[in-house]
A and B are shown apart, each in its own frame.
Chain A
Amino acid sequence: MGNLIWHEYSRFVSITANVYAVWAAFFGLFYRKFFWDFVGGTLRDPGGLQPSPNAAIFITLIVKIPIIQILSMMLGLFILAIELPLPAIKQFSIYRSLMVRVVLLLFQVFLAILFYQGTNAAIWSLIAAGCYGRAIMLGETMAEAKQNRGRKGEA
C-alpha cells in the first residue's frame, strides 16, 4: 500500500546529495586527492601515498588543478538550481524533464566518485538517479506550475 510519488521523493535525495557534492568539492579544492590513487600506488613514510604513473591524467585534473572538483561543484549548483528550483528556471519545460535529471545526476556520480571527498555524494546521487529512473518507469510526470496560482475562490 501507499502511493509514493517517486520523483518527489527523489528530489529530496538529489538535493541532499548535491549539497553534499558542493560542500565536498569545496573541501576538495584545499585537500586535493584522487580517490582511486591507491590502485597501484605505493605508501611511503614520509611522503604519504605515491599514486601510480597510470593515474597521471587524474592527478593533473584533481591534484595539480582541481578541475574535477570545480566541475562537480558547478554541476551540483546547477542541479540544485533545477531541484529547488530557482525561480528563473521554472518557466522552461526542460525543468520538468525527469530524464535530464537522471543524466545530470549520473554525470555527478561520475565526477564525484573521482575525488576523495565526493564518495558519498556519488552514492547518493546514484540513489537519486535510480529513484528518478523508477519514476520514469512508472510514467510519472511533473505537473506544470499551477496556472491558477494567486487566483482565489475557484478551488
Chain B
Amino acid sequence: MGETWIQREFLTPRRLVFNVLFYGTHIFLFAYGWHSQATNPKLAGLNSLKFSVWISRGAGLVLAFDGGLILVPMLRNIIRVIRPKLTWLFPADENIWFHRQVAYSMAFWSMVHTTAHYVNFINVERTQIRKEYALQIHYTQPGGITGHFMLLIMVLMYSTAHQKIRKQCFEAFWYTHHLAFFFMLGLYTHATGCFVRDTAEPDYISTFPFYSTKHCLGYLSWRFTIWPGIIYFGERVWREIRARRATRLSKVLVHPSGAMELRIVKPSFKYTAGQWLFIQIPELSRFQWHPFTITSAPEDPYVSVHIRQVGDFTQALGSRLGVGPAVVAAMTSAAMKGAEKDSKTGMTRGDFVELDPAVTSITLPHVRIDGPYGAPAEDVFNSEVAILVGAGIGVTPFASILKHIWYRQKKGKLGSLRRVEFFWVCRDAPSFGWFQSLLQEVEAAQADPNFLRINVYLTQKIGEDMLWNIAVNDAGAEYDPLTLLRSRTMFGRPDWKSIFSTLRQSIESGQYLPGSTSQLKTKVATYFCGPGVIAKALKEACVENTNSSVEFSFAKEHF
C-alpha cells in the first residue's frame, strides 16, 4: 500500500481539488433537487410521500448530471484536440480514470434513486394518491421500464468492465460496453412517462416530446444530457468514415524476437511522436479495434506498429501471416544462438524476415487504422532535458519519440531540447529484440555522445550461466553483451531518487548543460510509460528534486 486512503484522496492537492469539486457538485445537485421538489407547491401531491420522493428527485438530478458526464471523457477526438491547451487545467490523459469515477458515482446514486423509488411506489399504492398498483409504475410506465432496463445494462456493463474480465476477454468487455447505446436511450427517455406532474393523469400531447411541459414537471434534463451523446455518436461515425479512407499494409517485418512490425501506408493519417492508434483487421474480426503504440516517427513515409504475439488477436494475426507462435519460437531460439556467436563481432541478433507481397507469394490482409490518439510525450521539445523512462512493454512509445528526436536532430530543429536521458527498465531484454535494434540505430547515429544517454536496467534474476556469460563477454568488449549497445546494462532496479538528485546537482553545477547557468530555470521533463509502482517512485523523485533552479515535471502515459 505505502500510502493511506486519506493521504491519497485528501493530502494530494490536485486530487483534493478534484474530490471537492466532483463530489461537492454531486452533493449540491442532490440538495438542490431535494429542495426544488420539497418546496414546489405544484407538487404538493407528490410531496405527501415525504422523504422518499425528495431523495429520489435529488438523486435523479445527480444521475442526470452523471449521465451527461459519462460520455464526455470518451470523446477521444475532441480530447486529442483540446488536450495540449488544457494540460494545466486537468489531466486529460486520465480520461478513462474520470470515466470510471463518474461510473462509480452513477452506481451509488442509482442505488439511492432506485431505493427511494421502491419506497415511493409502494406508498403510492398504499395511499392511492394515484389510482394504480406499485407494479404498474414499475413495469408498465416508461420511467419504471427504462429504469429497470438501465439497471440490468449497468450490471452487465460494470461486471464485464472489471479489470480481470477486460484482461482475459477484451471482447466481452468491448461488445457489452456497446449496450451503452441502449442505456443512453433509456436515460433520455426515462422521464417521458411524466411521473413528476401536478395533475392526476399524465398530460400527453401529440407532438414532440409527447408530454406537456406545463404539467410534466421533470427536470427536462435530456435537453442537456443528450448533447454529449449526440457528439459521441457523431464521433463514432466520424471514426468509421476516417477508418475507411485508403489504407494499405505495405510490409510486415518479423523480428527475431517474434514481434511483427506492420508498416502501413495511409496518406490521410497525421500524427505526432508518442501517440497511439486503433487497428482493425477485418479478416480476423470485423468489429474489433485494438490499440497499439505507433513506433514510427512522423517523418517516416509509413506508419508502423510493433505487435508481439501475446493475446489471441495478435496470435491469430501471426498465423494469418504465416508466422504463428511455433515459427516465432524457432526464430527466437535461432536468434539467441546466433547472438552468442555474433556478440563478439558486434553483430545484431539475427535479422528480421521481411514479408513483402511483391517478393513472396503471401498476401497481406487488409487493415484499417483509426487515430491517432494523444499521449503526453508529444511535448518533449519544450524542455531542456528530457528523461524518458520506459518499463517493460511500456517502452514502445519511446521508439517513436527517439526516432523523432533523431530526425529532428538531423535537421537541427531540436527546440529547447539539449539532452535526452533514456531509461529502459525491463525484466528480460532479449524479448524486446526489435527495440534493441532500433536503439542500436539511434545510438550509432549519435554525433554528440552526450546528447542521448541510454540506460538499460535489467531487473530479472540472473542465473549462474548468464552471470559467467556477462563476466566473460563484458570485460573489454565494445558492446554490451546483452543488449549489444555501447551503453552498459545495469542490473537491479534503478534508484530514482539518487539518479534524479545526481542529475540536479550536475545541472546546478553547470556540468550537465554547459552554458545553462544564464537561464533562470532549467526544465527537466520526465515521461514515463509502465506500471504504477515505478510511476509513483518517479513522481516522488521529481517532486523532491524540484527547486528554484531546476524544475522536474512528470507525465505518465496510459494504455
Contact = CB atoms under 8 A, between A and B. Distances in A.
Interface of A: 1-5, 8-9, 12-13, 16-17, 23-24, 27, 31, 33, 35, 38, 43-49, 116-117, 119-120, 123-124, 127, 153
B159 A49 contact: no
Contact of B122 (A31, A38, A44): A31
Given A4-B168, A48-B125, A31 B119 contact: yes
Given A4-B169, A4-B172, A45 B155 contact: no
A37 B18 CA distance: 48
Given A8-B168, A49-B134, 18 more contacts: A1-B171, A1-B284, A1-B285, A1-B316, A2-B168, A2-B171, A2-B172, A2-B312, A5-B168, A9-B165, A13-B155, A33-B122, A43-B133, A48-B125, A48-B127, A116-B118, A119-B138, A124-B152
Contact of B111 (A8, A23, A127): A23
Contact of A120 (B122, B152, B162, B169): B152
Interface residues of B, number: 37
Nearest to A12: B159
- DSSP majority for the A interface? helix
A3 B125 contact: no
A42 B138 CA distance: 18
A124 B153 CA distance: 11
Given A1-B316, A117-B118, A48 B159 contact: no
A49 B165 contact: no
B152 A1 contact: no
A146 to B, nearest CB: 16
Contacts of A16: 155, 158-159
Contacts of A4: 165, 168-169, 172
A116 B461 contact: no
Contacts of B165: 4, 8-9, 12
26 contacts: A1-B284, A2-B169, A2-B172, A2-B312, A4-B165, A4-B168, A4-B169, A5-B169, A9-B165, A12-B158, A17-B155, A27-B119, A31-B118, A31-B122, A38-B133, A43-B131, A45-B131, A47-B128, A48-B125, A48-B126, A49-B133, A116-B122, A116-B134, A117-B118, A119-B138, A124-B155
Contact of B162 (A12, A35, A43, A44): A12
A3 B164 CA distance: 12
Interface in B274-311: 284-285, 288
B109 to A, nearest CB: 14
B450 interface: no
Interface string B98-127: 000000000000010001001100100111
Contacts of B164: 8
A1 B151 contact: no
B313 interface: yes
Contacts of B125: 48-49
A35 B184 CA distance: 29
A48 B127 CA distance: 6
Contacts of B127: 46, 48
Contacts of A27: 115, 118-119
Interface in B416-431: none
Contacts of B138: 119
B413 to A, nearest CB: 44
Contacts of B134: 33, 49, 116
B126 to A, nearest CB: 4
A1 B122 contact: no
B175 to A, nearest CB: 9
B170 A9 contact: no
A14 to B, nearest CB: 9
B237 interface: no
B148 interface: yes
Nearest to B461: A153
